[in-house]
Amino acid sequence: MCDKEGISRTHAWVLMPDHLHWLFELREGSLSRCLCRFKSRSARGVNQLLNTHGPVWQPGFYDHRVRVEEDLRRQARYFIANPIRACLVTDLHEYPHWGCRWIARDDDSDAS
């Protein structure tokens, strides 16, 4: 949603049972505004899908600035390997909630 609006450019993401890792380039506005927009819209979608209401996300966020492109790729591989490290799956193909612009969905060799 933020990518479509030109606010961000997503490089990698993985949705874990209790948190989200999102590696993106901020293109417009502030980080706080981007994440507020993301949390608000995704919470509405989750609540609508589950026929619930109320907060989905914790307040605040943890951020880390990555400065070098090679670090971006390393961070992306680390993110998407989280389901394996957390013993949710043994093969990345088994986990549906991730994406990475440098790693194809059918090639998990770079993820571990």
Q: What is the DSSP string of 50-81?
A: HT--S--S-SS-------SHHHHHHHHHHHHT
pLDDT at 108: 46
110 within domain boundaries: no
CATH for 45: 3.30.70.1290
Q: Please state, for a pLDDT cut of 70, what percent of the chain lies above it.
A: 94
Full domain range(s) for residue 62? 8-100
Give the pLDDT confidence of 65-92 residue by residue, as tens digits: 888 877 898 999 998 999 999 999 999 8
Q: Domain for residue 93, yes or no?
A: yes
Going from the C-alpha of 69 to that of each of 1, 13, 64, 82, the distances in angstroms are 24, 16, 14, 21
Which of 32, 23, 21, 29 is closest to 5 using CA atoms? 29
Domain assignment present for 107 = no
Report pLDDT digits (tens) over 29-47: 999 999 999 999 999 999 9
